[in-house]
Amino acid sequence: MDFFVNSQKLDVTLQNEKTVGDVLRSFEVSCEQNKLATIGITVDGKNIGAEEFDKAIEMPLKDDTKIEVSVISESAVSASFAQSSKEMTDLIELLKNIPVEMQSGKDTQAKQSIIKLSDVMNAFCSTVTWSSLFPEKFGSIMIDGKNLSDFLSDLSPILKDFSDALENSDSVLLGDLSEYEICPRLESLSKAIGEL
């Protein structure tokens, strides 16, 4: 059997493991001890999703069985939150300039800032997804008295309004949303995740 973690082959000595599930259970114990979480499993070249998992774990081990596991660490999630915090802080200054840029014909610069906002928020949301795998460390994140899920639920319609204002070239609404809604929330969010 060949066993890979994040594309690195590991030397594994089987004890009493007879099935793919036996190997994965043993590996999961090691993950918990090292603050890692499994985020993907491939057996013999086939990606194992939730619907195939029960069948896959019953597969007997053979000499040519190849198990590939992708993991993420708690420390990697923390580092990603720290990166998002820094990017949000940098982004705040860019967002504050959007109304002036649009009024002075610098639409390209304004749109680049908005694309950056989208990229930063997409990366942040991916990190939030991974953070749910480590509830002891990240499950109690609070921003302005709200848990992370409620905070993001409140932010989502504001970002939608922002996108609509951009489509309509409404520089006044873009400015108001940037200054009074988005930037203060990004500041609070950046501070909260920067302290993890």
| Residue % of the chain over a pLDDT of 90 | 75
Q: Token pair for residue 178?
A: 């940037």
As a whole number, mean pLDDT of residues 118-143 equals: 94
For 6-23, b/e burial (b = at least 16 CB within 10 A) is: eeeeeebeeeebeebbbb
Q: What is the pLDDT of residues 48-105, one digit of tens each?
A: 999 999 999 999 999 999 999 999 999 999 999 999 999 999 999 889 888 788 778 8
pLDDT tens sequence across 94-115: 898 887 887 788 878 888 888 8
Q: What is the pTM of this model?
A: 0.83
pLDDT at res. 70: 97
Averaged pLDDT for residues 109-138: 92
Helices (H), 5-147: 20-33, 50-57, 74-96, 98-103, 107-131, 135-138
pLDDT for position 174:
85
**Given this model, what pLDDT does residue 38 score?**
95
| Tokens found for residue 10 | 């590991």
For 80, other C-beta atoms within 10 Å of its C-beta total: 20
Average pLDDT of every residue of the chain: 92
Residue 147 pLDDT: 93
pLDDT in tens, 144-186: 999 999 999 999 999 999 889 888 878 789 888 988 999 999 9
Q: CA 54 to CA 52: how far, in whole Å?
A: 6
Q: What is the mean pLDDT of residues 32-51?
A: 95
Domains delineated in the chain: 2-72 (3.10.20), 75-194 (no CATH)
Instruction: Output the pLDDT for position 166.
Output: 80
Neighbours of 59 (CB within 10 A): 16
pLDDT-based confidence at residue 116 (cuts at 50, 70, 90): very high
Mean pLDDT of 25-43: 95
DSSP state of 15: S
Cα separation, 84 vs 19, in Å, equals: 40
Banded model confidence at residue 6, pLDDT cuts 50, 70, 90: very high
pLDDT of residue 106: 83
